[in-house]
Chains A and B, each alone.
Chain A
Amino acid sequence: MTLYLEVLEIAAGAVLVCAVVTLWRRDVRAIVTILAVQGVCLGIVAGDLAIHQRDLALGATALLVLAAKGLVVPLLLRRVLRKDPRSRETTPLVNIPASLVAAAALIVLSYVVSSKIIALDPSPATRLVPLGVATVLVGYFLLVTRQRTVSQIVGLLVVDNGIALVTFLVTSGVPLIVELGASLDVLLVVVVLQVLATSLGSRFGSFELDELTELHD
């Protein structure tokens, strides 16, 4: 097995493992660190593909991903957390063992769903797509079952990372303009979320989203 494939497999697997670990840990600060690690692994995947295909645009994208998802986004999230004295997650909507078993089920589901994608192009890189789809599903689960603002942001970002992983594996990156636009959008969304989360925290005095009950039918 070539070095390129080994690195690709380990990095892509690490992205999914990070997603599962965010579901596992209760400490919100730890979750943000794991998100940073996931961003770095994603950058490694992109970089590995770029080196293998000698694609300069993809290499630039890899550096962008490393900088944005590995450094900038976690920094922004830490700023929100600094205003929050408590760093533990209160009871998530689904308790952690059940969440982890659900994650296992989602991982198996993603393997089934991605079989059609793999059937179209059975290259070694495309065959890792279930890992990306599983990351999307696990991130979505995290988003839906957590109640701290930062946990929801992390869930959203894990979904984004999963989609980025699928994009890199399946198409070796979309056209550069789209990639740049997408990265910029993600960054801006995080800035927006950070500002909102800080406002929510200072306005409502807490970061518990289940206390936001003003709007309902």
Chain B
Amino acid sequence: MTATVSTVHVWSGIAISVVQVIALVLGAPLALGLMAKVRARVEGRVGAPIRQPLLDLRKLLTKERVHAEHASAALPIVPFVVAASVVVAVAISPLISTSPALSESADLLVVVSLLLAGSVALAIGGLDTGTAFGGMGASRAMTIGALAEPALLVAVVALAIQAGSTNLPAIVAGTLAHPAWAASPERLLALGALSIVVLAETGRLPVDNPSTHLELTMIHEAMVLEYAGPDLALVTVGQAMRLGLLVALIANLFFPWGVATSFSPAAIAIGLVALGLKVTVIVVVIALVEVRTAKLRLFRVPELLAGGFVLAVLAVVTGLVTR
């Protein structure tokens, strides 16, 4: 009997993971489109339709795959690594439900490492083409990553200290069980730190302008200049899912209401809808913040990220102090 129940659980977990991946593959580009639309509307333009990124992806998939002449064997693999790492991270994270597949492995270190693998692969790809833009973008991206990763880790450790475990579904479940945690000072500080980190990791303003192609200001764009066709589609969807994953994690770690805790289809449906709503809200907020801020000069970015790091450390110490 227990064997059957656990098999059901395993298959349900896999189903939930598949649903999460599909939701993000389709939803993340829509989120990007929504951000562009909000910015356009606030700036007084009409802007492209919300599903424009999906249309772009479909267009890219039909184009020819081209590789740089001097690239090594690493370059063709990079788009797959980028996409695969983020897909695995999405599959095991508690986005719709607290028990997707392999949820016992959904440790924060695992998720952060998967995201990091994607960033490193992209940077290697940028270096591999041998162009000036690629190298420049890679070095800038790694600098930002070197400051943002510790902040990310420490901020989620603060949450882990409060929940007593680094397992992400456990943190989500813990917050559901103790609603008072959501307003505690270490949560607020960790939220501040994570907001800064998310802006840095996903290449949004004020850290990086996603729509610029000026060599002085490109960071992420510089690394993906050499990809074409399906490769570019993979990298773009990977980057979009990265944003979606980080935003969804913030939503579920800090405001977990609506996440499914059982396997019933109704709960899953509610989880999906709740995720969509929360991500929409956060994405609109990010878009509004982007409209108001100007891009920071590159040497100022470490200041912002160091501030995020200190907020994360503050969150940890406050958590230790008020336990």
Q: Shortest Cβ distance from B164 into chain A, in angstroms?
A: 17
Q: How far is the CA of A97 from the CA of B196 in the complex (A)?
A: 14
Q: B132-149 toward A: CB 8 Å interface, digit per residue (1/0)?
A: 000000000000000100
Question: Among B302, B310, B314, which residue has its beta carbon within 8 angstroms of that of A13?
Answer: B314
Assess the B320–A24 pair: CB atoms within 8 A. no
Q: How far is the CA of A96 from the CA of B215 in the complex (A)?
A: 26
> At the interface, yes or no: A111 with Cβ under 8 Å from chain B?
yes
Question: Among B185, B302, B307, B321, which residue has its beta carbon within 8 angstroms of that of A130?
Answer: B321
Query: Knowing A9-B184, A128-B321 touch, does A97 contact B306 (C-beta < 8 A)?
Result: yes
Question: Among B180, B184, B310, which residue has its beta carbon within 8 angstroms of that of A20?
Answer: B310
> At the interface, yes or no: A103 with Cβ under 8 Å from chain B?
yes
Assess the A100–B317 pair: CB atoms within 8 A. no
Q: B175-189 toward A: CB 8 Å interface, digit per residue (1/0)?
A: 000001001110011
Contacts of B314 in A (CB 8 A): 13, 16-17, 20, 107
Q: A83-109 toward B: CB 8 Å interface, digit per residue (1/0)?
A: 000000000000011111101100110
Contacts of B56 in A (CB 8 A): none
> At the interface, yes or no: A10 with Cβ under 8 Å from chain B?
yes
Contacts of B306 in A (CB 8 A): 24, 96-101
Contacts of A16 in B (CB 8 A): 314
Main secondary structure on chain B at its contact with chain A? helix
Query: Knowing A97-B303, A100-B310 touch, does A111 contact B189 (C-beta < 8 A)?
Result: no
Which of under 10, 10 to 19, 20 to 34, or 35 or more describes the interface residues of B?
A: 20 to 34
Q: How far is the CA of A98 from the CA of B302 in the complex (A)?
A: 9
Query: Knowing A9-B184, A13-B189 touch, does A127 contact B310 (C-beta < 8 A)?
Result: no
Q: How far is the CA of A204 from the CA of B302 in the complex (A)?
A: 34
Assess the A1–B318 pair: CB atoms within 8 A. no
Q: How far is the CA of A24 from the CA of B314 in the complex (A)?
A: 14
Assess the A101–B309 pair: CB atoms within 8 A. yes
Main secondary structure on chain A at its contact with chain B? helix
Assess the B321–A127 pair: CB atoms within 8 A. yes
Assess the B318–A9 pair: CB atoms within 8 A. yes
> At the interface, yes or no: A131 with Cβ under 8 Å from chain B?
yes
Assess the A17–B189 pair: CB atoms within 8 A. yes
Name the CB-closest residue of B to A98: B306
Assess the B303–A107 pair: CB atoms within 8 A. no
Assess the A24–B303 pair: CB atoms within 8 A. yes
Q: A118-155 toward B: CB 8 Å interface, digit per residue (1/0)?
A: 00000010011011001000000000000000000000
Q: How far is the CA of A145 from the CA of B19 in the complex (A)?
A: 53
Question: Among A1, A20, A111, which residue has its beta carbon within 8 angstroms of that of B321?
Answer: A111
Name the CB-closest residue of B to A114: B321
Q: How far is the CA of A178 from the CA of B265 in the complex (A)?
A: 66
> At the interface, yes or no: A6 with Cβ under 8 Å from chain B?
yes
Q: How many A residues have CB within 8 A of the partner chain?
A: 27
Name the CB-closest residue of A to B186: A13
> At the interface, yes or no: B322 with Cβ under 8 Å from chain A?
yes
Assess the B303–A108 pair: CB atoms within 8 A. no
Q: How far is the CA of A97 from the CA of B183 in the complex (A)?
A: 29
Assess the A104–B309 pair: CB atoms within 8 A. yes
Q: Shortest Cβ distance from A49 into chain B, in angstroms?
A: 16
Contacts of B317 in A (CB 8 A): 107-108, 111, 130-131, 134
Q: How far is the CA of A138 from the CA of B185 in the complex (A)?
A: 19
Query: Knowing A97-B302, A97-B303, A100-B303 touch, does A107 contact B313 (C-beta < 8 A)?
Result: yes
Contacts of B24 in A (CB 8 A): none
Q: How far is the CA of A27 from the CA of B302 in the complex (A)?
A: 17
Q: How far is the CA of A96 from the CA of B188 in the complex (A)?
A: 23
Contacts of A131 in B (CB 8 A): 317-318, 321
Assess the B305–A97 pair: CB atoms within 8 A. yes
Contacts of B309 in A (CB 8 A): 100-101, 104
Query: Knowing A24-B303, A97-B302, A97-B305 touch, does A108 contact B183 (C-beta < 8 A)?
Result: no
14 contacts between A and B (CB under 8 A): A1-B184, A13-B318, A24-B303, A96-B302, A96-B306, A97-B147, A100-B307, A100-B310, A101-B310, A104-B313, A107-B317, A108-B313, A111-B321, A134-B317
Given A13-B314, A134-B317, 16 more A-B residue pairs with CB atoms under 8 Å apart are A13-B189, A13-B318, A17-B311, A20-B311, A24-B303, A24-B310, A97-B305, A97-B306, A100-B306, A100-B307, A100-B310, A107-B313, A107-B317, A111-B320, A128-B322, A131-B317
9 nearest A-B residue pairs (beta carbon): A100-B306, A97-B306, A104-B313, A97-B302, A13-B185, A96-B303, A100-B310, A24-B307, A104-B310
